Structure 1
Amino acid sequence: MPPKIDPAILKALSLDEANTTISSHGGSGFVSTFKLTTKDKDEKEKLYFVKTGKGRECEIMFAGEHASLNAIHSAVPSLCPTSHAHGPLSHPPNTFFLATDFLALSSSPSSGASLPHKLALLHSTPAPIPPGHTVPQFGFHLPTCCGDTVQDNTYHPSWSTFFSECRLTHILSCAEKNNGPDTDLSSLVQQTCSIVVPRLLRDGHLRSAEGSNITPVLVHGDLWSGNHGRGSIDGGAVEERVFDPSCCWAHSEFEFGIMGMFGGFGGRFREEYWGVKGKDEPVEEWEDRVALYELYHHLNHYSIFGGSYRGGAVRIMKSSLKKYGDGG
């Protein structure tokens, strides 16, 4: 007997249970995933991708992913699926769902713009001015999750402050909560935040390719090769797509931290990207900035998985402090 569809999902998507089925599809370390198949009033098939999970963490994760997908879709519509609904399931208690377009992955060539071109367009999307503020802010209007880490997206007008406080300091706190106090790691993170971050990212020093102060733009936030694919939605064209985002309004180069950590986005990708959106200034510090952004993801992976990711974080911090610790 096929699994029963929770009434909350049917209601949120305005679906007729008699014309709708659900089946397991794929898998995740954090949640359960399904393909939901239904028919519209014209008997045309429509597919949805559904995630379910238990606990407050999943409630936060799904709300953040819903907002992230729709922010990306608003900026570059062909880049990701639309998210249609999220919220609590009818039963069991304390369980939640997310329902998005179903992305049918394909090995066929893409008929649309390349991924580096689309990503450069995404990174050219300026942040709106949040309520209660007079200028665009770095951050996001709600928490998002990178893996199962709930990120602090508190708004800040300064990128160096946001990155130091809401990324490095916050993830250190998460890592120590999950793996125990670590005096040496804590000292390195504190030194990096007080010395390297202001040296490379301070206001007025970090500038756009045009020479102006950087402004917050939309980033995916967790763009490794496993969160990118080629596929179609609702039987449409096969295009380059991204999924599982953890968005925020950030410095565009922050995206390259996770992209470089696991590979899959080589020199040709970067050259095409820079052809649309040039490197920020100082250009000669690009690799050092990206190493700093990669540091966050080493710390996040250490927080989640433990093990050797700590060593990668330590290596980046010691190298950065050796280069910039004398104020050079």
Structure 2
Amino acid sequence: MVAIAQMGVLSFSSCFPSLSSPRSFNKRTTFAMAAMSDDPVREWILTEGKATQITKISPIGGGCINLASRYDTDAGSFFVKTNRSIGPSMFEGESLGLGAMYETRTIRVPRPFKVGPLPTGGSYIIMEFIEFGFSRGDQSVLGRKLAEMHKAGKSSKGFGFDVDNTIGSTPQINTWTSDWIEFYAEHRLGYQLRLASDQYGDSTIYQRGQRLMKNLAPLFEDIVIEPCLLHGDLWSGNVSSDKNGEPVILDPACYYGHNEAEFGMSWCAGFGGSFYKSYFEVMPKQPGFEKRRDLYMLYHYLNHYNLFGSGYRSSALSIIDDYLRMLKV
């Protein structure tokens, strides 16, 4: 059973004492409002979240970046992530991405409710709590629903997103660009290559990567590229299923891009044959798909190199060198 915030119907005011006892009301009200103002998560849940009481707060195993908690209330359950050092911009990007995917009405995502700053520094995001099942769901259903999201989520602004966001903890630049090759070369590969150069002094991967960036056009001949709404960080840890077995995707790094770029994390996503078969029944495979697969993986290998160190360098450099040989540049 999925807990949704809108289940609640009672307002916060119903938990206040009666106005017939002014002294008691003023005292308790002042205390309650002061306590709530120090905790914006609690304040939202007990007002706009339509709960009258929070019955339990349980920590949930989060990632290495944020703390995660489940808030159980008489209006259902909420999922809350907090970060004590990063301001609201990171969660605002996540919220906008979740909201965009939610609005396609295709694949299940947690509905975002509220993002804001914490009084002591940092930020929070409140979203729908989804009770997960015991598997990642049917791969064929996941493939079909993901393709439906790509087909439904279009942009008239080109390639990019309304805000910059993060891929892991790395900034992801989403400046609107009319040309996909230019966008991917500059804002995906180019940004990561500059990070590697700045962080590690890696002139080899930077220079070879720059050569590749300037010669991508032959990989995109005879295809049509439309800006599709992408999850952006689709690996096994960001894919689950609800209690009914329906696929759920979460923790996005959304932007509008070439639909094939969604498979850039396939090296640790576990997508099987049934996934791709169902996907391509909705979004037909375009010529040269196999030639471009590693190009989209390269972005994520470079990001892992920048985030986690030299263990990913050889994979990234190998992909670059393979393309340089293929393209003869």
So what's the TM-score if we normalise by structure 2? 0.82
Contact 1:206 1:214 in 2 (8 A): no
Of residues 30, 40, 61 in structure 2, which corresponds to 1:26? 61
Percent identity for Structure 1 against Structure 2: 32
The answer as to 2:307 corresponding to 1:304 is yes
Of residues 272, 279, 302 in structure 1, which corresponds to 2:278? 272
Secondary structure of 1:84's partner?
Answer: strand
The count of residues paired between Structure 1 and Structure 2 equals 291
Aligned 1:226-305 pairs, distance under 5 A: 226-232=237-243, 237-259=244-266, 261-280=267-286, 283=287, 285-305=288-308
What's 1:8 paired with?
A: 40
What's 1:157 paired with?
A: 178
**Residues of 2 paired with 1:151 and 1:184: CA distance?**
23
Secondary structure of 1:105's partner?
Answer: coil
Secondary structure of 2:191's partner?
Answer: helix
Distance 1:181 1:149, change over 3 A: same
What's 2:18 paired with?
A: none
Secondary structure of 1:114's partner?
Answer: helix
What's 1:172 paired with?
A: 193
**Residues of 2 paired with 1:120 and 1:269: CA distance?**
10
Rg comparison, structure with higher value:
2
What's 1:61 paired with?
A: 90
Of residues 70, 76, 83 in structure 1, which corresponds to 2:105? 76
Secondary structure of 1:221's partner?
Answer: coil
The answer as to 2:131 corresponding to 1:120 is no
So what's the TM-score if we normalise by structure 1? 0.83
Q: Which runs of 5+ in 2 are unaligned?
A: 1-34
Secondary structure of 2:61's partner?
Answer: coil
Deviations 1:190-233 (A, max 9, x none): 011011x22213xxx352xxxxx32101010000111101114x
Output the amino acid matched with 1:240: P
How far the C-alpha of 1:74 sits from its partner, in A, is 0.6
Of residues 172, 189, 210 in structure 2, which corresponds to 1:190? 210
Output the amino acid matched with 1:180: Y
How far the C-alpha of 1:257 sits from its partner, in A, is 1.3
RMSD, matched Cα = 2.2
**Residues of 2 paired with 1:269 and 1:35: CA distance?**
31
The answer as to 2:199 corresponding to 1:199 is no
Q: Which runs of 5+ in 1 are unaligned?
A: 41-45, 130-135, 208-212
Deviations 1:103-157 (A, max 9, x none): 211127969981111001011124233xxxxxx3100000121111110000000
Of residues 202, 211, 233 in structure 2, which corresponds to 1:222? 233
Secondary structure of 1:249's partner?
Answer: strand
